[in-house]
Structure 1
Amino acid sequence: MAARAGKIPGDRLQRSVAEKLVEAQQPRDLEALFGELPQRLDDPAVEVRACILGELALMGAGRGRPVLDAYAARLRELRHPLARLPRTRLDVEHRFGVRVRGLGSVKTSEQLRARFPEVSATDGGAEGGRRAVESVEAGRAGAVAEPFVVSGWSRVPEVRFFALPSPLEPDDFNIAFIKQLPLDCLAGEGTRRGVAVSCRTTPDDVINELFAAAHHGGVNGQGKGQGGAYARLYAWNSLYALMGLPGDLPFLDAARLAAEYRWLRFMAFSDWFHHDTADIAFAVLDPGGTRVAVLAATDTDADSRPYF
């Protein structure tokens, strides 16, 4: 049930106000809001303005206006979390907020195969999966899960990390590899009708799903959408954590490195994958072929036990 206007927590209310202002006004009409530079970050009006700048960045607007540039520079000095984001949309973010008629959530293996190139199972993949050793990194897992947790998805995502004793061949990173991992999302796989499948995808697909999860809110968490500015921040935090990158790495460098990783979408027929609302599952292999991260999220009501 959507939250009533008077009941929206302060942070989401500020984000919603900023989003609506940017939708309704031209950047030149918003400049009057930025005449006075902020002195502290605990002022709600400052937070609204920071979100406005974040929304304008997603539109490719606002940059090059001295008043807005000065305000953004002051926010960086005060270390506002949104201030570290680029002031314009990067190429890898080109799908943010873009909806294509006829394309919604990937709910079936047929849809997955139709949209992404399938990666066939190999014996080398199964052998590699059997050699994988799990590593527990709670803080990193929390960052990966953040877009889903903050936006009220019905179940806390499963986030797991694995290390390999020797590099995995890129072609062996497939569903055969994934099925050998002790993933809760695959528990009971094979007992339901259907065949697990993996398809190769790209960083822009992954970060777009992370952005959409935070921006729109879960089915049962309506009213918990975070607004574009913070959805973008949570998506980048999650992508960095999936790749195991340091937080101070410049965004353009992170986008360049992301192209060197190998990204998979996968789907199975288990108690996790309900194929009715939103099921998302990704795996990523680092360029050296020895580190794997897995993220599986579902917005179907289920046991909400966290997986990190």
Structure 2
Amino acid sequence: MSHNEETPGDCVTFAVDLVSRLLPEGAMPPGENDRLLRSAAAKLVKAQHLRDIEPLFGELPDEVSNPAVELRACLLGELALIGSGGGRRSLEAYCDRLRELGHPLARLPRTRLDIEHRFTARVRGLGSIKTAKQLRSRFPEAPSTDRGAIAGRGARDARDDGRANAAARPFRAGGWAREPEARFFTLPSPLSPDDFGISFIKELPLRCLAGEGGRRGSALACATTPDDVLNELFSTAYVGGVNGHGQGGAYARLYAWESLYALMGLPSGVPLLEAVRRAADHRWLRFMAFTDWFHHDTSDLGFAVLDPTRTRVAVLAATDTDVHHDAPG
């Protein structure tokens, strides 16, 4: 995209109008138009100054189904991730209108929260975790106890399809190769946090752990933190799977939060800062296993969450690969 030094604001306005008008209707795969709008918004925010983007928000929208409105919503989301646009009256007014109209992105704060500090950041040497050694080097291992195994055998399945779909959203949006496993369990009595480890997880009826020990390596679990989990969920949608597509920062952020809320079992109406406070009362684990379900060739993730009552557990596992596998997902 060229940048006209004489009338940069007009150039940006023209570009946004062009993108909005040229989207074909019904001729592209489902979600492709959305991906193009999100990509265009991310590129504009990276390439243009705020002063050139700001004029786009001079007129407030009447509805949210217009592609031009959706593009502006994505622009606001991208600006929030880089800490830009705060205090600009036209941007704040547009965001308020989107909130009134019920746009999903409008529930996100206009500034990045501290728990989101790793979003879009690439740390040299910290790629995906593929080995037990890598997991142990980054996170403290959770103890394996007999009491945990006994408690795991007493867990009851608490199926919730809506919650499972929300938890899996970042992986589906990013196009990960295999359908994620999102499961929820209840316990007849509180589980001591000291017994929340791999011995507990291995007793749960999880597809991802079927045949555990059949491949070289033993399952293990390590303690982690909500910001680590949230960042992984964000990166999943932001980068996309090996055969998928990144969703842009605005929607990657939304999907990450929706997934985290689902893992904690929080209603959508709970404010994000309240969710951050509640997240600190949960126990969070990363786990890995060497089964036919996980591939260990691109990206694998396994999370388990114990709620503050110590009687409810959520598990989310996902795997991505560029190799064709016949094993069912």
Task: State the TM-score, normalizing by the size of structure 1.
Answer: 0.95
Q: Which residue of 2 aligns with 1:162?
A: 185
The CA distance in 1 between the partners of 2:318 and 2:294, in whole Å, is 9
Q: Secondary structure at the match of 2:143?
A: coil
Q: Which residue of 2 aligns with 1:55?
A: 78
| 1:133 aligned onto 2:156 | yes
Which structure has the larger Rg over C-alpha atoms?
2
Q: Which residue of 2 aligns with 1:292?
A: 313
Structure 2 runs not aligned, ≥5 long: 1-22
Q: Which residue of 1 aligns with 2:236?
A: 213
245, 256, 265: which one pairs with 2:286?
265
Question: Aligned in 2, Cα 1:304/1:226: closer, same or farther, shift over 3 Å?
Answer: farther
The CA distance in 1 between the partners of 2:326 and 2:253, in whole Å, is 28
Q: 1:303: how far off?
A: 5.3
| 1:103 aligned onto 2:121 | no
The CA distance in 1 between the partners of 2:276 and 2:220, in whole Å, is 27
Q: Which residue of 2 aligns with 1:148?
A: 171
| 1:280 aligned onto 2:286 | no
Amino acid at match of 1:80: H
Q: Which residue of 1 aligns with 2:54?
A: 31
The CA distance in 1 between the partners of 2:307 and 2:327, in whole Å, is 29
Q: 1:273: how far off?
A: 2.1
Greater RCO structure (CA 8 Å; 6+ sep): 1
Amino acid at match of 2:53: L
Q: 1:302: how far off?
A: 3.8
Q: 1:191: how far off?
A: 1.7
Q: Secondary structure at the match of 1:263?
A: strand
The CA distance in 2 between the partners of 1:273 and 1:144, in whole Å, is 18
Structure 1 runs not aligned, ≥5 long: none
Q: Secondary structure at the match of 2:243?
A: helix
Q: Secondary structure at the match of 1:142?
A: helix
**Native 8 Å contact 2:293 2:327 kept in 1:** no
Identical positions, percent: 68
**Native 8 Å contact 2:292 2:327 kept in 1:** no
Question: Aligned in 2, Cα 1:305/1:142: closer, same or farther, shift over 3 Å?
Answer: farther
| 1:18 aligned onto 2:41 | yes
The CA distance in 2 between the partners of 1:193 and 1:78, in whole Å, is 53
Task: State the TM-score, normalizing by the size of structure 2.
Answer: 0.89
Q: 1:276: how far off?
A: 1.2
RMSD: 1.5
**Native 8 Å contact 1:261 1:285 kept in 2:** yes
Task: Report matched runs for 1:232-251 at 5 Å.
Answer: 232-251=253-272
The CA distance in 2 between the partners of 1:194 and 1:277, in whole Å, is 17
Deviation per CA, 1:196-226, whole angstroms, max 9, x where unpaired?
Answer: 11000000010111101111111011xx211
